[in-house]
Amino acid sequence: MTRRALVLDFGGVISKTLFETHDLSERALDLAAGTLTWRGPFDVDTDPPWRDMQAGVITERDYWTTRARETGRLVGKDWDTLPPFLTAVRGNDPSEVIRPEALEAIGAAKRAGHRLAILSNELDLFYGKEFRAKLPFLADFDLIVDATYTEILKPDPRAFAFITNGLSIDAGDCVFVDDQLKNIRGGEAIGMSCVHFDVTRPGASYERALSLLSA
């Protein structure tokens, strides 16, 4: 069997989205249940900024900066960037927001002898270095590429080259999973097998990724 690589985005793919963890965020910030109502892909009709982001009117970072500012005002904080917001809502026990489906897929890929990599545009920028230290499963990864440091964002082909060069593997032997379509198109353009991760159906998305990995 060819040794292949499972290449995962982090936010939304390995970790649950903030949309899915409003209850945890509200408890962490001492807000009343139901205070946070923006739902992104889970209710696009009621989230105009999310629709603007998907249409390319604003960037993903713009969207989350807006949400950080809004939430900060609710608790008397000036959160002009996402990191302090994420630290406040996810800092104590980040394992609570890791998808169990992700851990199962990571384990399955490792047992099958495949390589593991993360390709993120803002892992440490958004979450902070301390976040990684609280997630022991990250030690299973052969390579973590974070544009916080490389400053080369997906879908730039050079971002994907960090993976293929770093693992000494052909693009065709990589299965890339991301929840942003523009990044999927970038992976496809350089020859990777890709799964456009559906945050509303994480189990099905990981099943597809593992199927491609074993093909």
109 neighbors 213 (Cβ within 8 angstroms): yes
Mean pLDDT of all residues in 92-116: 94
Whole-number pLDDT of residue 78: 96
Whole-number pLDDT of residue 128: 79
Whole-number pLDDT of residue 31: 97
Residue 77, pLDDT above cutoff 90: yes
pLDDT tier for residue 91 given thresholds of 50, 70 and 90: low
Name the 3-class secondary structure at 209: helix
Whole-number pLDDT of residue 87: 86
pLDDT tier for residue 54 given thresholds of 50, 70 and 90: confident
Query: What are the boundaries of each domain within the chain?
Result: 5-16+98-214, 18-94
Mean pLDDT of all residues in 118-124: 93
Q: Which of 54-68, 78-92, 100-114, 188-202 has the lowest mean pLDDT?
A: 78-92
Mean pLDDT of all residues in 140-151: 97
Q: Give the tens place of pLDDT for each residue, 96-106.
A: 899 999 999 99
pLDDT tier for residue 126 given thresholds of 50, 70 and 90: confident
More confident residue, 55 or 205: 205
Residue 92, pLDDT above cutoff 80: no
What's the helix, strand, coil split of the chain in %, to 5?
A: 55, 10, 30
As a whole number, the mean pLDDT across the chain is: 94
Residue 181, pLDDT above cutoff 70: yes
The answer as to CATH 3.40.50.2000 being correct for domain 5-16+98-214 is: no
Q: How far apart are the first and last CA of the chain?
A: 9
Helices (H), the chain: 22-29, 48-54, 60-74, 82-90, 100-111, 123-127, 129-133, 147-150, 157-167, 181-189, 202-214
Please give the structure tokens belonging to residue 163.
């993976």
Whole-number pLDDT of residue 71: 97
Whole-number pLDDT of residue 131: 83
Whole-number pLDDT of residue 61: 81
Whole-number pLDDT of residue 1: 56
